[in-house]
Amino acid sequence: MRRALTLIAVAVVLAGNAAFAQTYPLAAPAPRTTDAASLRALAVSREVHERFMRGVEGLGRNDWTLASAEFARIIELNPGEPKGSTARYDLALAEVGLQHYDRAAGLLEAALRLDPGFAAAAANLVNVHLLRNDLAQARAAADRFVAIAPQAARALYARGLIALRSGDTATALADFRALLNGNPAYAVAHYDLALAEIQGGRLAEAERELDQALTLAPSFARARITLGTILLREGRRGDARLAFDEASRDAQDPALRNLALSLRDQLDTP
Amino acid sequence: MSRLRLKVLTAVVAFLIASAGIAAAALSSLDDLTGLQFLPSEAPSLLGPITEAGRTGWDCHPEKAATAAKWHDAELPSRP
């Protein structure tokens, strides 16, 4: 009886200790300094952290005004790298959302000055200049992007596209060929390379690239229409008609479908 | 009789000229249409936000997409 009572007492004591051993985490670690400058730095760091969280969440739900205010405040706090360039990059996204393209371009330039190897900022700067309809600046940004990331698919694609739009056939050919060396199954690059070949007057090479694009993506209506136009230029009206007819069935975009249909119907006209 | 011949000849020449004109017009409008689809593919969409950790963070998706060598990792369009 006495032993049983002792055992119960020991069990009660151990259970009590187990309960005391439970700890509850503090909401935030207590500051280990009373120095005013250090306390201020801690407060700034905390504010930067909170504003980044709120700003990124704001961008995620297209709340450009809130995101813009959060990142602008972070830049005011001058948090150092990499937060300074990152805040400018994120603020540029908010400014694009607000359609302030010039401001966005300036912020991305500033981010690249702070961190010259920031490839994502270089990539978005190309897009922003395209949104500004400034092909010359877009080309300069694309050249910088290629210098930062010469093997990057996005850099080659972006510069190739701008070169194609601005009539720089040699650069467009070189960039799309380089892109296809690493990505031979990328149908869109075959299509763009075909356009560069057309621009250079090499219809046979263009036809070959379009055939490859259509082998990879048989329902690629725009490529099929372009192939039809090449066939038409080569005087192969029957093949061209077939291509337009097929494109009219594959096209998802109504405008493209109508275009294919009207081209086919024009060929039907005696 | 010769007047009739002249009229027929004039009609034939007029018909040929008109046919040639119609054919030329059809061809030029076909050329106009075929010029429309030589549009390059779309520009890629903007890369997304980056967290406080910055581009050197272990999981910075935008920076990875910007430097990826493969098109599907680079967020490039799959159709123009």
Give the ipTM of the model, two decimals please.
0.79
- CB-CB neighbors (< 8 A) of B51 in chain A: 52, 56, 86
User: In this complex, is the C-beta atom of A101 within 8 Å of any C-beta atom belonging to chain B?
Assistant: no
Candidate from A119, A195, A259 with C-beta closest to B36:
A259
Query: For A52, which of B40, B52, B67 is closest by C-beta distance?
Result: B52
Within 8 A of A233 by CB-CB distance, chain B residues are 34
- The per-residue pLDDT string of chain A (270 residues; one tens digit each, 9 = 90 and over) reads 566 667 666 665 555 555 555 666 666 666 677 888 888 888 888 989 999 999 999 999 999 999 999 999 999 999 988 999 999 999 999 999 999 999 999 999 999 999 999 999 999 999 999 999 999 999 999 999 999 999 999 999 999 999 999 999 999 999 999 999 999 999 999 999 999 999 998 999 999 999 999 999 888 888 888 998 888 888 888 888 888 888 888 888 888 888 888 888 887 765
Scanning every residue of chain B, which has its alpha carbon at the shortest distance from the alpha carbon of A269?
B26
Q: Which of residues 141 through 180 in chain A touch B, CB cutoff 8 A?
A: 145, 149, 151-155, 157-158, 161, 164-165, 179
State residue B19's pLDDT score. Answer: 41
* pLDDT classification of B20: cutoffs 50, 70, 90: very low
Q: How confident is the model at residue B22 (pLDDT cuts 50, 70, 90)?
A: very low
What is the pLDDT at residue B24?
A: 41
- pLDDT recorded at residue A31: 62
Q: Report yes or no: B59 at the A interface, CB cutoff 8 Å.
A: no
The verdict on A258 touching B (C-beta cutoff 8 Å) is: no
Contact assessment for residue A118 and residue A144, using Cβ atoms and an 8 Å cutoff: no
Q: Is B77 on the interface with A (CB under 8 A)?
A: yes
Report pLDDT for A30.
Answer: 67
pLDDT value at residue A33: 77
Tell me the pLDDT band of B9, cut-offs 50, 70 and 90: low
| Residues of B with Cβ-Cβ distance to A214 under 8 angstroms | none
Which residue of chain B is at minimal alpha-carbon distance from A218?
B79
Q: Do A214 and A227 contact (CB within 8 A), yes or no? A: yes
Chain A CB contacts of B36 under 8 Å are 259
Task: Indicate yes or no: pTM above 0.80.
Answer: no
**A52/B67 touch (CB, cutoff 8 Å), yes or no:** no
- Label residue B21 by pLDDT band (50, 70, 90): very low
